[in-house]
Structure 1
Amino acid sequence: MRPIPKLYTAAMAVTAMIALAPIAFNAVVDAFDHNRLVELDLDKKEISVKAHYPLYKMMEYPRIKAPTVILGDSRARALQDRYWQELGRDDVYNFAYGGATVYEIYDTFRYLRETVELDTLIVSLPLRSMDARFKGSMNRVPEAIALADNPFAYYTNWFVTKTGWRLLQDRYPGLTALFEDVSLWPVQEALAADFTAVSTLSVEALLDPSLCDECALSASVSSLRLPAVYHGHGFGLGRWAGYWPEISIDRDLPQLFAKQVGTNGAADWRRFKQSEDLWNMIEEIASWSAENDVKLVFLIPPTISEMQRRISDFGLTAANHKFRERLSTLAPVVDLDFDTPFTRELGNFTDAYHFGSDPARRIVGELLMLIDRDPKRVATASSRRKDLVCPVTPAETSRSHVEGTLELLEGSSCRIWRKTDG
């Protein structure tokens, strides 16, 4: 028998080692906690979660299987598990993703109904997410489920490797410099500029603000003056018009807030169109919850008052109201996104869309009082209320209105919309 050459054997061994290296790396670093075999003290809660929110949570949730789940985007994600735990609720899991779309909310719901016996579902649903074009119809959930269910796909995935490397760089900053100094090539990399032909650059690239610090136009924070066809706040709302008065507020906003109100606000509402396909998904969630005795609550998270005004700037006041009216036929709606002292206080917000940690704790408390009747937990939540009080009891209701089967209860900076038997 002809012996296998030693060189060939060595080459095969080296090839196998190179091929298996990423798998071994992913198994040890385990960026998304698939196996948790080795503890390397890496900041996965910050880096891995933000790298791929659904993937991290799809790995984590099966070990917890909490019966109360929160779905939504970054505003819902702010309602962290630890805030619920501070109130004595260890059975709540925050399954929200930064930048989540309704497609992702729906697919996560489908995953949950096959995975766990739910008791309560809290779905954060701002109006702007009901446009099918929002975030480019992004859906990261199917990929996350596929990787979580297939260890081989997970351990051989290049994105998982890249995230693992970022974790190591964060934990051991010297690694980057070490690998930059090591080269297997006789010619070192030239530090030359990239003279890409101008003809290959897109308009977006040419307009990149980073190319010119002083090129960006200042964003207007005043109300947009539209043609008369858009005027007349409350059109089509009848007696509900009084609950949506024109927001009159004139103040200088911090730079980030002003840019979001001017630029992002226009992007949100200029071409906004509610999607019936997305609405059908929400209806399916509500129908399944009712059939399976799962308590469902919708949350409309707050934005600053100037951002709310952009809705009326683009003639969508009636659509804003009708959204709540329609949603309340499916389940109670906790509404924090209307002009109140809470939404006018910039100290409650980190930007025009996102509220801070103290408001998040208070919002968690208000939600708890709607789904929990334990006296001790309710008392703890009540102690946090300050200027945010949802009308949980008649004494906390400052005004109410009923029209047909729609009932509105208003507390302090909080409304509850719900269906009545009238």
Structure 2
Amino acid sequence: MGPRSEHLGAGDLEDLERMKVEDEGAGDESSNDDTDEEEAQIFDEEERVMIAEAPVSEQDEDDDEDEEGEDDDDGSDIDESPRRGFQARLERLRNASKGKQIVNDPMSLLETVSDDDVAVDYLAWSDDEELVVTVQAFVDGNDDVLNGRRNRKDRNKLFKAIQDGKFDELEKFGPAKRSKDKGKDLPPELQEQWQRDRAKKAEYKRQREQTRLEAAADPMVRKKGGKKGRKAMRAAARLDPSVEISNRIVDMISLETQIRRFIADIGGVQTMVLPPCDKGTRKTVHELAVAFNLSSKSKGSEANRYITLAKTTKTGPYVNEKKVKKIMRRFKSDYGAGDSWGVPGSKGKSQAHLPKHREGDEVGKAAPKIDSSNVGFRMLAGMGWSDGDRIGLSGGLDAPLAAVFKQTKLGLGATL
């Protein structure tokens, strides 16, 4: 007989059937696991695409870590499936994108979402007409802020407050007060002091202007260089001749006086700047400078041309008085004739004449009042007259005699 054959009993057949069923079940489970892994990969790919489209800030990453930690603590109460993680991340990305759109371009957000989805609170104030009028009043009242005449920080704060809708901050930008309204918000006991301070400042300002004007009119005062010095000198030369300013040159008589003052100041300034004048007047001034042994030089251009006198080694005791008298006599005899300021027949330009008195001008109004040091004052006081009374039995004159400048008459004691 051959080898002994193996006989299967009923129990063996049942075991084989059971093993076959288990093998089929294991194959189904492995196929299901493969399907789940494919779905997880798809969700991961979609998640990475969404993350690349919208950048996540560090705050969002910290929130993710906090949420992951909370998920670990909660345990099985929260769904840990890939779909749940993707939905949470997608929701955070959408919220972050909405915030960036509101800051960068609010109008683009209005075009992409409906009123039911997003409540646009930052535009709610535009529907309030009263509030719009208030904002417009602030803008109109702070025109100096918007035009840059005040601090740039104030302008930026005003724009920022209107842009962000923080209208409480607009209260500090009240409408600019007018000049005559300044000081009215002060207590009554301080308003009088404020007015006195303003009057004192105005007086100081007037005194400073008067000092600058006198310095510009005085030929022996050192002038500032550049345009400011020339501008001040021209402004002083254009003043009305009737305005009394010490050491001012208004005619040839005053010019001779200032030249003699300049020569007498031996240790003082070495140069003297005259006001602008025309060509004929400059010619006469040059002749007069030679008689006083001074060097003269014309500077400037066109109507603003002026003369500068300077001392020399011969200046002082060596003065040609005969020539000085001849020049001054010639000038006085033709005083006021023509537009060339006392130089007959001059063809020079007349845009920048030295100031002079005109026919009918009242002069001497700024002369100091006669006091008790005057002989006539003491004589009248001895006869019973007092300051403020009229002179004469019949009432005297209501107004003092006025000195009127005349060019057509020589006056008492004049000689040809």
TM bucket, shorter chain: under 0.3
Which has the bigger relative contact order, CA under 8 A and spacing at least 6?
1
Q: Taking structure 1 as the reference length, what is the TM-score of the superposition?
A: 0.21
Q: TM-score, structure 2 length as denominator?
A: 0.21
